[in-house]
Amino acid sequence: MPIFEDQCQRTIYLPDIPRRIVSLVPSQTELLFDLGLEDAVVGITRYCVHPHSWFVGKSRVGGTKNIDFSSIRSLNPNLILANREENSREQVDALAGNYPVWVSDIHNLGEALHMIECLGILTGTREQAGLLCTEIATAFSRLDGLPVLAEPLKRAAYLIWQKPYMAAGGDTFISDMMHRCGLENIFGSKTRYPEVTLEQIRANRCGLLLLSSEPFPFGEKHIDLIRVALPDTRIILVDGKMFSWYGSRLRLSVSYLMQLREKIQG
């Protein structure tokens, strides 16, 4: 019986290529689509908005942290995809008692590429996954050697939430994307998503504040409010998917990051 290890060093057993897959991770749902697994994916979460045809056509199994177990039982999956950060450990452990659950744990581009390769092996789409990894790695090589942005703009923070404000810490995939864009994460010594204050952002000499479109949808009105407390900091709205979706959307990230650099420098 084939044995596979996930990115949390957990072991799962898959006797055959899975043909009833449930994805609990929005960015990996999009990846499954791009690997050509239309017929194999039977369930997704309500946050799996891409592709739109799946969002409106596939069965939904609740939210990423509020899984509907009865819906999953009705779908009888032979593979569930989860993520250490995006899904509840208690719910993942409960599912793992009845189904093979492969859990990703991604903090940087290398781990994202490894995840894509692994899902290619798991789902019988190794060739497609390999081509996708090559395309993504080649695209990101364009960022190699780009100079770090000059002071003060290089000293940056990335907010994902308000009330309280929460920033991306140094061990997150977002922070890796910031670094590849030529930015220095002022909360790089923190882990995960620490609560921060505008006073702390100012005290850390933040020259550039990035406000994400997800999970909290920051908008222009939030820039106006924050600017009162941070008059010397440049504040920009950014597409959260380009910083945090670690599946096939990475093919689009490099062009976005290059355009963002030009906007910052301009």
Tens-digit pLDDT profile for residues 105-143: 999 999 999 999 999 999 999 999 999 999 999 999 999
Rounded Cα gap, residues 107 and 109, in angstroms: 7
CATH number for the domain running over 3-140 = 3.40.50.1980
Q: Are strands 11-13 and 3-5 parallel, antiparallel or unpaired?
A: antiparallel
How far apart are the C-alpha atoms of 26 and 48, rounded to whole Å?
4
- The Cα 143–Cα 145 span in angstroms is 6
- What is the per-residue pLDDT for 151? 86
Q: Which CATH class is domain 155-265?
A: alpha beta
Could you tell me the CA-to-CA distances from 109 to 116, 134, 169, 201, 246 in Å, in that order? 11, 12, 16, 26, 8
Phi, psi (deg, nearest 5) at residue 94: -65, -40
Beta strands in the chain (DSSP E): 3-5, 11-13, 21-23, 41-44, 59-60, 79-83, 101-104, 155-161, 165-167, 184-185, 195-196, 208-212, 234-238
Task: List, for the chain, all residue ranges whose pLDDT scores fall below the cut of 70.
Answer: 1
Closest CA to 17 of 116, 125, 103: 125
3-140 shares its CATH topology with 155-265: yes
Contact criterion met (CB below 8 Å) for 87 and 24: yes
The structural domains of the chain, with segments of one domain joined by +, span: 3-140, 155-265
pLDDT computed for residue 1 by the predictor: 55
Q: Output the pLDDT for position 78.
A: 96
pTM of the model: 0.94
Closest CA relative to residue 211, chosen from 240, 191, 187? 240
pLDDT, position 266: 77
Chain-centroid distance, C-alpha 42: 22
pLDDT at 159: 98
